[in-house]
Amino acid sequence: MHMVLGILGSGSGSNMQAILDAIDSGTLNARISIVLSDCPDALILERARKRGIETGVIDCSGFRNKFPDEAQRETAQRLLAAGVEVVCLAGFLRLVKRPLLDFFPNKILNIHPSLLPAFPGLEAWKQALDAGVTEAGCTVHFVDEGMDTGPILLQESLPILAGETADSLHARIQCIERRIYPDALRKLLRENLSAH
């Protein structure tokens, strides 16, 4: 059994690439059937097109941060038409709510650069540094109605080093992100298999 993934992203697509690498190496039994972005010129779309993956642009009607209901419904229809079973947010900068959650209940994953529930929201690595904590990390979690509040699937921590800057910490967290996103999908696949 393999899992059909849909990716929503706003940026370069490094996490999508990590998932593709895991699929290519045979360590993740999945395929990406569609990649959608709210930024028409996002590198993630270019990467997907080069791989022959269907792409599309999410029309958010000129809203900078909001994800309008109509756009969410259209996104859900495109994902369903592409046979998507699990949606992966990969650097997607809009908050996913209903109606999209209703179409994919407990089937939307996000990766967040902190050890949730600590430091939800933007620039979590900076929040961690400012708070003076000794460890940071990242979390793959299911998306629910809140901001980074859904059930946790997988998390990994790393120590904050002496003299750490926001940039160095962010780069180190991104290395972990690229490793644990495919791991989390493998875990989900195993759990789905054992449930059937």
Catalytic residue among 2, 112, 141, 196: 112
Return the H-helix or E-strand segment holding 28: none
112 is catalytic: yes
Burial group, residue 159, by CB count within 10 angstroms (0-12, 13-18, 19+) = exposed
> 96 — alpha (psi -120 to 50), left (phi > 0) or beta?
beta
Distances (CA, A) of 139 to 20, 49, 90, 100: 19, 28, 13, 21
DSSP structure class, residue 49: H
The residues assigned a catalytic role are 112
